Structure 1
Amino acid sequence: MDSLFGLLVVITLTGCWATNCPDNFLAFHGSCYLFGDIQLSFYEAEHYCNQHDAHLVHVNNALEGDFLKEHLRHLKPFGFWWMGLTDEVAEGHFFWIDDKSPAEYTDWHAGQPDGGDEDCVVFAKYFDFQWGDYPCTLAEDFICEIQ
C-alpha cells in the first residue's frame, strides 16, 4: 500500500509545474510574475524588476502570452503594460533586454510596430492586450518575471 501511495505522489508531481514564487508573484509554467502596482518608464520598470531579482517579462510563446493577456483583462483597467522587448538599438530589430535574444514569438496588433520614437513594447488594452510599440520614456504599468 505504501509503495502504491508513493507511486501516485510521484506521478502527480511530475505532471504539474512546481514553482516556488516570492510573495505577490503569480506562478505559471515554471515562471513567476509580478504585476507592478506603480507606473514607471521602461527602464525604471526594468530597474524595479531587477530589485526584485526579476526582469521585465520575456514572452516565449502563445501559451505564456495568452495567460498574461487573460490575467491583464481581469486585473485593472489600465491602458498599457511594459514587457522587456525593445528595438532601441536598431529600429525594427526587437530584442529581449534580459538575454539580448531576438523576438521569435510575437503578438503584434495589426499595423504594429509602427516605428518612429516608439522603441519599447507594451501589452495595449486598446488592442485587447496584443502588442504595440510605445515611447520608452512614458510611465506605465509593467510585468516582472522570474524564470
Structure 2
Amino acid sequence: MKDLLGIIILLARIVPFSGLTSCPDAWTAFMGSCYLFGHDLMTFHEAAVLCKSYEANLIHIETSNENTFIEDQLKHLYRASSATAWWIGLTDENVEGLWKWHDTDTLATFTDWFPGEPSNGGNNEDCASIYVREGFHWNDVNCQLFKYYPICEIQDQNYNVEVVG
C-alpha cells in the first residue's frame, strides 16, 4: 500500500495536472478535447441537437493527429458494432463548396476528403461524414436523407500544453 501511494505521489509530481484532459463519464479524452461516440442513428441536424444537449458540438477535426486518433477510434467501433458512418460538424449548407464548422461558422483549415469528394452528388450533399467504405475518409452526403452516428466534442477549458525545455 505504501508503494502504491509513493507511485501516485511520484506521478503527481511528474505529470502536471494542468496538462491532463478531464472528461465526463463515457467520453474519450485526446489532446484537450473530450469525444462522445453516439450509439443512435440520426440526421445531421438531429446529431447537432444531441451534441448541444451535452453542451458539446459535432466534432471539429482540426489536425492530422486528431484525424488519426478519431479514425483509430472508429475502426475499433466498426469492428465491435459494424457501424459504418459518423457525422462530423462540417457543412456547406450556406454557400456551396465553402466548408465551415456548423456551430462556429469558421472555415475548415484541415480536411481529409476521400479522392473525388466533396462531390455534391445530386446537388444536395451539404454535410460531412466519415465513411468506412471510403477508407475512413470524409464524404459529403445529404444532411436529412442519411442517418449516421454522431461524434460530439467538448473542448476542455482547463487543458493547456506545458512546454518543457
Aligned twin of 1:131: 138
Cα gap change, 1:56/1:9 in structure 2, threshold over 3 Å: closer, same or farther? same
What SS does the aligned partner of 1:126 have?
helix
Of 76, 82, 85, 2:87 maps to 82
Aligned twin of 1:13: 16
Q: Which residues of structure 1 form unaligned runs of 5+?
A: 1-5
Q: Is the 8 A contact 1:58 1:98 kept in 2?
A: no
Query: 1:24 is aligned with what amino acid?
Result: A
Q: How far 1:12 sits from its partner (Å)?
A: 2.4
Query: 2:102 is aligned with what amino acid?
Result: I
The more displaced of 97-106 and 33-42 is 97-106
Aligned twin of 2:46: 44
Matches within 5 A, 1:85-104: 85-104=90-109
Q: How far 1:78 sits from its partner (Å)?
A: 1.7
Q: How far 1:57 sits from its partner (Å)?
A: 0.2
Aligned twin of 1:25: 27
The more displaced of 16-25 and 101-110 is 16-25
- Normalised by the length of structure 1, the TM-score is 0.90
- Normalised by the length of structure 2, the TM-score is 0.80
Query: 2:125 is aligned with what amino acid?
Result: E
Partner Cα separation in structure 2 for residue 139 and residue 29 of structure 1: 29
Structural RMSD (CA): 1.9
Percent of aligned positions with the same letter in both sequences? 40
Residue 129 (structure 2) pairs with residue 122 (structure 1):
yes
Query: 2:54 is aligned with what amino acid?
Result: H
Of 69, 78, 102, 2:71 maps to 69
Aligned twin of 2:150: 142
What SS does the aligned partner of 2:50 have?
helix
Q: Is the 8 A contact 1:84 1:97 kept in 2?
A: yes
What SS does the aligned partner of 1:109 have?
coil
Q: How far 1:13 sits from its partner (Å)?
A: 1.9
Q: Which residues of structure 2 form unaligned runs of 5+?
A: 1-8, 156-165
